[in-house]
Amino acid sequence: MKSGQKRTVIENVRPEINAGAYAAKRVAGQVFQVTADILADGHDVLNAHIKYKLKKSKTWSHAPMHEADNNGWEGQFIAEKQGYYIYTIEAWVDYPLTWQHNIERKIDDQQHVNVELLDGIQYLEKAAKLAPHETDYLNGLIDAFKNPEAYNYAIGEACSTRLHDIFHHHPTKEFATTYERELVLEVDREKALFSTWYEFFPRSTAKKKGEHGTFKDCLEVLPYVANMGFDTLYFPPIHPIGTDHRKGKNNTTTALPGDVGVPWAIGNKEGGHKDILPELGNFDDFKKLVKVAGELGIEIALDFALQCSPNHPYVKENPSWFKWRPDGTVQYAENPPKKYQDIYPIYFESPDWENMWDEFVSIVLHWNRLGIKIFRVDNPHTKPFGFWEYLIAEVKKVDQDVLFLAEAFTKPKVMQRLAKVGFTQSYTYYTWRNNKAELTQYMNELTKTDLKDYFRPNFWPNTPDINPWMLQGGNENLYIIRHMMAATLSSNYGMYGPVYEQIDNAAYVGKEEYLNSEKYEVRVWDWSKTNKLKQLISRINHIRKEHPALQFTNNIEFCPIENEQILAYFKQSEDKTDNMLFIVNLDPYNRQNGWVKVPRYKMGLSEGKPMRMRDLVTGNSYMWNQEWNFIELDPNHVPYHIFHIDF
């Protein structure tokens, strides 16, 4: 039974994910704020702090909390190291501060407080033990409290800020209540919060039609990726590709001689998930590619697709990992409306599931030993949550730096569960959020609800699987708009190129699919090609690196503007030194204008104080000194402003 002497109540603690079952998420060096409702009977002064420690540590640290509103308390600490932290809240009735508060009121009311001074001696004695550096001062107060001739000095010091601070910083914590749960905070490396992804097919890097690209060819493309400002290069699967039921061009179910198949149909006689497609090169070539990319500031991310072609070695070596039908066949994989005739799904209810799980963990660790620390996971929503929780935890025991991106375009709660069980980042619905209302609602959902504490979005305007309806017309202005919003709304974003920057918009009729998709064939690209879109992509990526305000997602605030074709939003760095305003014309065809309200209060600016609005794309500057300011955007010039605010 809880002690009847404990009067404080702690409830509505945030973040608290699924009653503490899952971890909140931050990156090393990031501020972690905790809030709670803390209350007690009566009118006594309350106090509280956050208790926190690294999971393996035996020693607790403490961060003070304060009352921000009606019984709503908040506090924060900096998660300095990677790993797992434990945190909880401790609260108590602060009897020394209650005594000080009450005696102040009586003194203000000109009451005589001799008895109250004597009553306060017990708190001075306890404080002297807790704050030995203040012992002389406190012992002097004890003498003064006892001496009627020192009354005026005593009442002055009884109300002093110095005494208040001693009591506050050295609490007695009598009858303290500790929150009923110890909660978990997972702290990742910085790239979990801020990353800029580029995807291309390694096999499409050859210079001549009919040739298969190699890792050596990829070396020549790396400077292109680096110069555009990308720091993460994601490859579709690089493993041997199945031959049975191989897909032909444009997803035909019959492959012709020379058809290369789909990289996600993994495995043949040459190997499986731990092997490299011979046409791409060997392990030495791969290791060199990883090394050279790193020298250019690029991390290689690999696709982790848990599925097999009918020719995968697992099919013969571990037949119980697949669900066999009475006719001796395995039903091919489906993700409605898509059908994958060239792929066998894994049977996760196999009686041999424990060995299977460990084998899949070993795949990730195999590539991790070769320098890979980022995995884009294909369709994780079609595999059990418990499996992912196990795999991610086992991998992080070996290397805490490993990050996992969930490629799951599915129901919101399923995507959220994947984030809870350990996925670092997630693909999102950004691709289908187009108008002002949709974008505003979606961003507020991601950044103003509990999702902000565990779900890190990664915005992609396109993928090899998604040629969005709105981009199929090939309007360059629209490509420019969609890229800009992906890169400035979310601190993590990516794009599939060179399809995107070269506006390769041809679509398969009636579908959000690319015609002549690289999923089914090798393409040859002119990597020297340039255009306005490519130049703006590069400029924005470099702006992202230079401005901390763009390295967070949850710091967004939308700004009022009375035009449904214009979206405006403000971002500010944690230390409030980097202030940015983004205004984008959502109409790719017409000039739009309106009056935008700048949140001057966020910057501590009074009305009339001038702001220098410096457009980081065009180089133009404007002086604004009011809350409401007029803007006009021509989509045929640059359809947006990216303002840095100086004052």
Q: Where exactly are the structural domains of the chain?
A: 9-187, 556-646
Whether the bond between 461 and the residue before it is cis, its omega within 30 degrees of 0, is no
Contact between residue 579 and residue 602 where contact means Cβ atoms under 8 Å apart: yes
Give the model's confidence band at 253: pLDDT under 50 very low, under 70 low, under 90 confident, else very high: very high
| pLDDT the model gives residue 325 | 96
d(CA 32, CA 63): 11
d(CA 469, CA 460): 14
Q: Say whether 407 is catalytic.
A: yes
Contact between residue 273 and residue 280 where contact means Cβ atoms under 8 Å apart: no
Vertex 27: Cα angle to 24 and 31 (nearest 5): 80
d(CA 206, CA 522): 9
Question: Is residue 525's pLDDT more than 80?
Answer: yes
Radius of gyration of the chain (CA): 30
Give every CB contact of residue 288 below 8 A, 6+ residues apart in sequence.
Answer: 215, 219
d(CA 242, CA 343): 8
Residue pLDDT, tens place only, 209-248 = 999 999 999 999 999 999 999 999 999 999 999 999 999 9
Which residues pair with residue 377 across a beta bridge? 304, 406
Pairing, β 457-458 against β 183-188: unpaired
Q: What percent of the chain stands above pLDDT 90?
A: 98
CB burial of 15-53 (b: ≥16 within 10 Å; e: otherwise) equals bbbeebebbbbbbbebebebbbebbbeeebbbbbbbbbb
CA-CA distances (angstroms) from residue 200 to 173, 213, 235, 519?
59, 11, 6, 11
Give residue for tokens 């992804």: 197
Fold of 556-646: Immunoglobulin-like (2.60.40)
Give every CB contact of residue 603 below 8 A, 6+ residues apart in sequence.
Answer: 572, 576, 579, 611, 645, 647
Which residues pair with residue 34 across a beta bridge? 75
Give the number of other Cβ atoms within 10 Å of residue 161's Cβ. Answer: 8
Closest CA to 24 of 334, 419, 325, 439: 419
Q: Say whether 284 is catalytic.
A: no
d(CA 27, CA 31): 9
Give the model's confidence band at 495: pLDDT under 50 very low, under 70 low, under 90 confident, else very high: very high
Question: Is residue 414's pLDDT more than 90?
Answer: yes
CATH topology agreement for domains 9-187 and 556-646: yes
CA-CA distances (angstroms) from residue 14 to 32, 36, 529, 582?
11, 6, 50, 30
Residue pLDDT, tens place only, 630-647 = 999 999 999 999 999 999
Residue pLDDT, tens place only, 315-372 = 999 999 999 999 999 999 987 888 999 999 999 999 999 999 999 999 999 999 999 9
Coil vs helix vs strand at 35 = strand
CATH 2.60.40.10 fits 9-187, yes or no: yes
| pLDDT the model gives residue 1 | 66
| pLDDT the model gives residue 642 | 99
DSSP character string of 333-364:
EEETTEEETT-EEP-TT-TTHHHHHHHHHHHH
Measure the N-to-C terminal CA separation of the chain; round to a whole number of Å: 58
- Which DSSP helix (H) or strand (E) runs through 77? strand 72-79
Residue pLDDT, tens place only, 419-478 = 999 999 999 999 999 999 999 999 999 999 999 999 999 999 999 999 999 999 999 999
Contact between residue 496 and residue 461 where contact means Cβ atoms under 8 Å apart: no
Determine which one of 94, 342, 407, 501 is catalytic. 407
d(CA 42, CA 7): 10
pTM score, two decimals? 0.95
Give every CB contact of residue 244 below 8 A, 6+ residues apart in sequence.
Answer: 309, 310, 311, 342
d(CA 219, CA 303): 19
Which tokens in the block code for residue 176?
Answer: 């303290």
Residue pLDDT, tens place only, 266-312 = 999 999 999 999 999 999 999 999 999 999 999 999 999 999 999 99
Determine which one of 16, 157, 378, 587 is catalytic. 378
Vertex 355: Cα angle to 354 and 357 (nearest 5): 65
Residue pLDDT, tens place only, 136-181 = 999 999 999 999 999 999 999 999 999 999 999 999 999 999 999 9
Contact between residue 346 and residue 331 where contact means Cβ atoms under 8 Å apart: no
